[in-house]
């Protein structure tokens, strides 16, 4: 998997399947903070569904800001999960990325702030209907563009 440095010094990857980058080239970290964390008003103890986990930026930023989160991440691409371990972590999120690397070996992990991340591997169209309704406080929905992933 090839990584590309974005303008905010974070990295993204290119998907050959969807012929698109996982994040805006303006910055993967900036995208996670401005498009997901800030508007979602995340606070301690929330239940979050992360659809399109990808390289884990949205979850990493939430983990850095809060404690006692329960995050259920859904990802369809195994290769992107394995790629996290070779991704240079963004400055200030080294601890969170080191934690998320464990997801390619174990499906449920807990950090030192009692944040729990569980990974479901598969197609969200099939997995979401099996999830409990009314459980999640926030949803990170981060697919490729509609033109690439209708």
Q: From the CB of residue 131, how many other CB atoms can be counted at a distance below 10 Å?
A: 13
Is 17 within the bounds of a domain?
no
Question: Residues 120, 128: contact at Cβ < 8 Å?
Answer: no
pLDDT at site 116: 97
- Backbone φ and ψ for 3, nearest 5 degrees, come out as -105, 150
Is 26 within the bounds of a domain?
no
**CATH number of the domain bearing residue 120:** 3.40.50.150
pLDDT at site 114: 97
pLDDT at site 148: 63
Is 122 within the bounds of a domain?
yes
Adjacent-strand bridge partners of 119: 73
Q: Compute the distance between CA of residue 8 and CA of residue 24 in angstroms, rounded to an integer.
A: 10
Question: Residues 120, 72: contact at Cβ < 8 Å?
Answer: yes
Question: Residues 13, 3: contact at Cβ < 8 Å?
Answer: yes
Is 150 within the bounds of a domain?
no
pLDDT at site 72: 97
pLDDT at site 146: 61
SS3 sequence of the chain: CCEEECCCCCEEEEECCCCEECCCCCCHHHHHHHHHHHHHCCCCCCEEEEECCCCCHHHHHHHHHCCCCEEEEEECCHHHHHHHHHCCCCCCCHHHHHHHHHHHCCCEEECCCCCEEEEEECCHHHHHHHCCCCCCCEEEECCCCCCCCC
pLDDT at site 49: 97
The pTM of this model reads 0.89
Question: Residues 1, 80: contact at Cβ < 8 Å?
Answer: yes
* pLDDT tens for each residue of 96-149: 999 998 887 788 999 999 999 999 999 999 999 999 999 999 999 876 666 666
Is 27 within the bounds of a domain?
no
* pLDDT tens for each residue of 4-35: 888 888 888 888 887 888 777 778 888 888 88
Is 118 within the bounds of a domain?
yes
Residue 50 belongs to domain spanning: 41-141
* pLDDT tens for each residue of 39-98: 899 999 999 999 989 889 999 999 999 999 999 999 988 888 888 888 888 888 999 999
Is 148 within the bounds of a domain?
no
């Amino acid at each position: 998997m090839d990584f590309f440095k974005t303008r905010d010094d974070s990295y993204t990857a290119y998907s050959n399947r969807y012929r698109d980058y996982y994040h805006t080239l303006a910055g993967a970290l900036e995208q996670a903070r401005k498009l997901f964390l800030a508007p979602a008003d995340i606070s301690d103890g929330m239940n979050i569904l992360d659809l399109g986990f990808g390289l884990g930026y949205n979850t990493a930023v939430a983990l850095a800001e809060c404690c006692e989160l329960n995050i259920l991440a859904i990802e369809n691409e195994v290769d992107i999960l394995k790629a996290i371990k070779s991704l240079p972590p963004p400055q200030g999120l080294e601890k969170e990325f080191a934690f998320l690397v464990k997801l390619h070996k174990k499906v449920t992990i807990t950090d030192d702030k009692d944040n729990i991340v569980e990974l479901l591997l598969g197609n969200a169209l099939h997995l979401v209907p099996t999830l409990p309704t009314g459980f999640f406080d926030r949803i990170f929905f981060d697919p490729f563009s509609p033109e690439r992933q209708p």
